[in-house]
Structure 1
Amino acid sequence: MKPIQTVLITGANAGLGREAARQLALHDGIEKIYLGCRNELKAFAAKAALEAETGRKIFDIILMDMSDPASVRKAVADLEEPIDAVVLNAGGMGGRDPAARTKSGVTSIFAVNVLGHAVLVDELLERQLLTSTVLYAGSEAARGIPKMGIARPVLETSSVNEFASIADGSKFNAKSDPLELYANVKLVAALWMSSMARQHPHIRFVTMSPGGTTGTNGMDDLPFIKKLFFKHVGWVLMPLFGMMHGLEVGAKRYVDGLLNPKFESGRFYASGGGSPTGPVVDQTTIAADLDNAAFQDNAKQAIRLFA
């Protein structure tokens, strides 16, 4: 597998994506970083700031809206040269109504966290524009975070139909907690990545959680009380109790996942135990069903029903 020299990061104008771009630029072997952004003004502001901070003019902008597969396809169609690695970082809670269905038939939260990224990877592979590594921003929520009151997703059959019901939101109801939707969505994505690793053995597919990270925009669209807790109370108190860490730590997990070969293809790495911080471990040691090939393939098939 060739050394990683060019990287595309989705959601790169702020938070973890921007910090990952900054850290990667400090590695001599990295020659080009594509900032995948939805907003052009914010993209150019991030590019200018990153050039000033790193002293390197290696940043290019690719405009794409990860919640819109058509936007993603257009962005890939405009690419003129291969990319070694992609960091599938864009995500969050899917706007003010995460359960609202997009024109693709999936919920907003599923569209931005999973469907857009699946389309991006498939398009890059189809055009032979991806040479080395795919890293997906996973979450400890996919196997539950007891210390934060986030239950492990409950699957009855792990069938294609059940995963499709997560994608289109029919598994949930109006009273479902947005964090429940988020946990299920991140579980589907981790399984999809493992299936892709088996289907494309020449490409490395690593799911890496950035962990509980302060300074991100991911919780901006939560209901007011939850947003207040996570962003204004949690960011102050949770680090004191070892429940959250800074942007630099979360982004470094991405960089390590990309550049350190000890992180194996098809694996989902996140913090151990019931916390979203601390050393990362292979999550199959916590939840064995993550290693079930049939479940993985079912998740991938469900995603492609909407792609």
Structure 2
Amino acid sequence: MNPIQSVLITGANAGLGREAARQLALRNGIEKIYLACRNLEKAEAAKTALEAETGKRIFEIIIMDVSDLSSVREAVAGMKSAVDAVILNAGGTGGRRPNALTNAGVTNIFAANILGHVVLVDELLERQLITSTVLYAGSEAARGIPKMGVAKPDMQSLSAEEFAAIADGSKFGQDADPLDVYSYIKLVGAHWMGAMARQHPHIRFVTMSPGGTTGTNGMDDLPFLKKVFFKYIGGTLMPIFGMMHSVETGARRYVDGLLNEKFESGHFYASREGSPTGPVIDQAEIDFTLANPDFQDNANQAVHRFAA
């Protein structure tokens, strides 16, 4: 693998994305970090703060809304040079209408977490603007976290049709809880990355969960009571019981997954079974279906139905 000198991070103005940018800037050899954000004002504030915190002037803003495929394509078309790596960090619970459909025919929550990133990676590959590594933000929710009340996704066939039903929301209905849907979406993402690794062996595709992380903004659009619990009450109590760790620890997983070659292409790394924190392992050790190439190809086929 070629040394990574430049990195593009989606959702880079706050939370895990911003912290990953800070940590990477302090690593030897990193010469350029692109902050891909949808809001210019917030991006500029993050850039100014990162420069002050790191003493580095290596940050560049790219305006990109991963929920909007035209925004993604315009952003890539405007890139003047290739990047070595990309961290697909943006996501969350899909805004105030997570189950509403976008123009692409997928739900808002699916667009934010997967489809925009699918198009981003496809565009980078087609234009030969990515040279080394793609890292996707996975989640332990994809295989369930019983201690946190997160059930394992109930998949019947893992067919392309079932994955497509996750994308357009027909598997759940309009009143589905976005936290439940989120686990299915992250499962689709892990399978998609596995398929991409086999299709593009010259690029390293790693799915890495940041783990249960306090201080993120991914829960901001949840209903009030759930937001209060997960972001404030849970964020205080869960670390005590080992169910959450700091944003610094979560972002460090990204950085390790990006720079440490022991994390293999096509694999999904997250915490050990039963926990969203602690050392990471290959999740195929917990759920062997994650390494099934047929299921991976089904997921890849399904997401690309909506990427045109």
Measured against the shorter chain, the TM-score band is over 0.9
In terms of mean alpha carbon deviation, does 20-29 or 168-177 score higher? 168-177
Where does residue 65 of structure 2 map in the other structure?
65
TM-score by length of 2: 0.99
- 1:155-208 superposed Cα distances (whole Å, 9 cap, x missing partner): 111111110000000000244221111000000000000000000000000000
Pairing 1:81-230 to 2, within 5 Å after superposition: 81-230=81-230
Q: Quick one: which amino acid aligns to residue 85 of structure 2? A: A
Aligned-partner Cα distance in 2 for 1:204–1:171:
31
* Aligned match of 2:2: 2
Mapped to 2, the partners of 1:102 and 1:28 lie a distance apart of 41
- Farther off after superposition, 263-272 or 219-228: 219-228
> Where does structure 2 lack aligned partners over 5 or more consecutive residues?
none
- The 2-side partners of 1:208 and 1:167 are apart by 21
> How far apart, in 1, do the equivalents of 2:274 and 2:285 lie?
13
Distance 2:148 2:260 in 1: 30
Q: C-alpha offsets along residues 66-98 of structure 1, whole Å, 9 cap, x if unaligned?
A: 000110000000111110000000000000121
Alpha-carbon distance in structure 2 between the residues aligned to 1:157 and 1:231: 34
For 2:293, the equivalent position in structure 1 comes to 293
Question: Which residue is 1:273 aligned to?
Answer: 273
Listed as ranges, the matches of 1:251-266 within 5 Å are 251-266=251-266
SS at match of 1:79: coil
Alignment length (residue pairs) = 307
Query: So what's the TM-score if we normalise by structure 1?
Result: 0.99
Comparing 90-99 with 220-229, which one deviates more in the overlay?
220-229
Counterpart amino acid of residue 245 in structure 2: H
Distance 1:177 1:62 in 2: 32
User: Aligned partner of 2:295: which letter?
Assistant: F
Partner of 2:18: 18
Q: Residues 33 and 60 of structure 2 are in contact (CA less than 8 Å); yes or no, is this contact kept in structure 1? A: yes
Structure 1 letter corresponding to 2:255:
V
Aligned to 2:243: 243
* C-alpha separation in 2, matches of 1:243 and 1:195: 31
Give how far 1:25 is off: 0.2
Shift of 1:226: 1.4
Letter in 2 for 1:263: F
Give the letter aligned to residue 260 of structure 1: N
More off after superposition, 222-231 vs 235-244: 222-231
Asked if structure 1 preserves the Cα contact closer than 8 Å seen for 2:99 and 2:176, the reply is: no
User: Who is 1:40 aligned against?
Assistant: 40
Query: The residue matched to 1:19 in structure 2 has which SS?
Result: helix
- Please report how far the alpha carbon of residue 257 of structure 1 lies from its aligned counterpart in structure 2 after TM superposition: 0.2
What letter is aligned with 1:240?
I
In 2, the alpha carbon distance for the partners of 1:233 and 1:45 equals 28
Alpha-carbon separation, structure 2, partners of 1:190 and 1:66: 18
| Aligned structure 1 segments of 4 or more residues deviating by more than 4 angstroms | none
How far apart, in 2, do the equivalents of 1:287 and 1:219 lie? 27
Distance 2:77 2:232 in 1: 41
The one-letter code of the counterpart of 2:143 is R
Displacement, 1:223? Answer: 1.7
Considering only aligned residues, what root-mean-square deviation do their CA atoms show, in Å? Answer: 0.7
SS of structure 2 residue aligned to 1:196: helix
Question: Aligned partners of 1:167 and 1:48: how far apart in 2?
Answer: 37
